[in-house]
Structure 1
Amino acid sequence: MTVKTPIGHRQRQAEETKAQVARTARRLFAERGYLATTVAAISEEAGIPEQTIYSALGSKARILERITAQWMVDADTATLAERSHEAPEAADRVRLLATINRRQLEVGWDVIGIYQEAGRADAGMARTLRRVLAAREGEVRRLLLTVKDDLAPGVTVRRALDVTLALMNIEAYRLLVNERGWTPARYESWLGDLLVSQLLR
């Protein structure tokens, strides 16, 4: 009698294959560059047949989508965003923006760099990056609207958004943490203090 493999088991195996491909691709994209990394190279490093990768995920763009999805899960910024809206004090809400930004960049600054590189050569990737950044901007703006009555004189929500996006720029994180040796916690504290001093009464 033939014993059938449970569907759940096959699905788990398929998900693990996708996760392994994504982990390997993320490392190679960061080390060698998105454009220079081929699916064949990912296949060799991951020990997974190239055809299996195409069947499971498809193109490099689809692999990067999988990497991005895992980054969002690992960062879990949605939970932090909910906390920011529930914080009673305006300063606490603004500081949580620093926490969210620290968390996003701590676990995914390399992913943003991959998109930046890919977008320079691929119009589709450039559009994807713009959508990601637009969604991020929308979240920041929604939080700033909750503190609009506490903004410093002359600081509109629009100006607060401009200042916040400038201070939360990935290049500042890369400089301070990756190049100057700051800990992510020190970066978060610095950013939180700066946002409060720049935005609030």
Structure 2
Amino acid sequence: MTVKDSHRARQAQATKEQVARAARELFRQQGYVATTIAAISDAAQIPVQTIYSAFGNKPAVLREIARIWIAEADTRRLAQESLALTDPAERLRAAAHWQTRQFVTGIDVIQIYQEAARADPRMAAELQSVWAAREHELKLYLESFEGDLTQPQGRALDIFLACTAAEVYHLLVLERAWSIQDYETWLGDTLVSQLLP
């Protein structure tokens, strides 16, 4: 790749991120379904045709929003680092930390995806695929505890998924006004009490 090509690629990515950030705010305020590409164009100050050239459609804009969110949350790195912890309770509290961070940085993205899934069968299938991938990663994570868990692997996964459901975070933090720290502490305590001796 030449210097010129590299510069173009960086410019194209910067444009995509500008569009994604504007779209995320509109999706949060107006809803995914009600927001048009024209509205995103106005908010991002990027021509409509440029948005169509860069993304093709609204679902692709949402995918870019999710990509930015996952990168900013940095939960993959945090999850990998937590695997190095030898104390099982510490490792579960570390999991509570990266799960909380994921919600703090992106509960709105999850809700936008859920709205999109209700309106578009393709987005519903995509969201189902995302949940399945998450479940697979958590299954592998819990398998790393080997004989430390009091629950069989399948039941341990069910408990972990129930405790870390986005709806629970929404209820406790956004509706019941728990602090982020209170939620994270509760989540860590609950995982430890439910999954360890």
Aligned-partner Cα distance in 2 for 1:107–1:138:
22
Structure 1 position 186, deviation (Å): 1.9
2:57 corresponds to:
59
Identify the match of residue 182 of structure 1 among 155, 178, 182: 178
User: In the alignment, which of 142, 145, 161 is matched to residue 144 of structure 1?
Assistant: 142
Percent of aligned pairs with the same amino acid: 51
Match for residue 129 of structure 1 among 109, 127, 130 = 127
Contact 1:148 1:157 in 2 (8 A): no
Please say if 1:95 is aligned against 2:93: yes
- CA-to-partner distance for each residue in 1:96-154, whole Å, 9 max, x for gaps? 221121011111111110111111121110111111111111121111112241122xx
- The CA distance in 1 between the partners of 2:143 and 2:155, in whole Å, is 12
The one-character-per-residue Cα deviations of 1:153-196 (angstroms, maximum 9, x if unpaired) are xx211111111100101111112211222222221111001100
Paired residue total: 195
Unmatched tracts of structure 2, length 5 or more: none
Q: Which secondary structure does the structure 1 equivalent of 2:8 belong to?
A: helix
What are the Cα deviations for residues 17-59 of structure 1, in whole angstroms up to 9, with x where unaligned?
A: 1111000111111111111111011011111110010011110
Q: What is the match of residue 115 of structure 1? A: 113
Moved more, 174-183 or 124-133: 174-183
Runs of 4+ in 1 over 3 A off after TM superposition: none
Within-5 A mapping of 1:1-201 = 6-152=4-150, 155-201=151-197
**Which has the higher mean CA deviation after the structures are superposed, 31-40 or 135-144?**
135-144
Larger radius of gyration: 1
- Does the 8 Å contact 1:101/1:168 carry over to 2? yes
Whichever residue aligns with residue 62 of structure 2, its letter is L
Name the amino acid aligned to 1:56.
A
Contact 1:39 1:60 in 2 (8 A): yes
TM score, norm. by length of structure 1: 0.92
Equivalent-residue separation in structure 1 for 2:102 and 2:183 (angstroms): 13
Structure 1 alignment gaps of length 5 or more: none
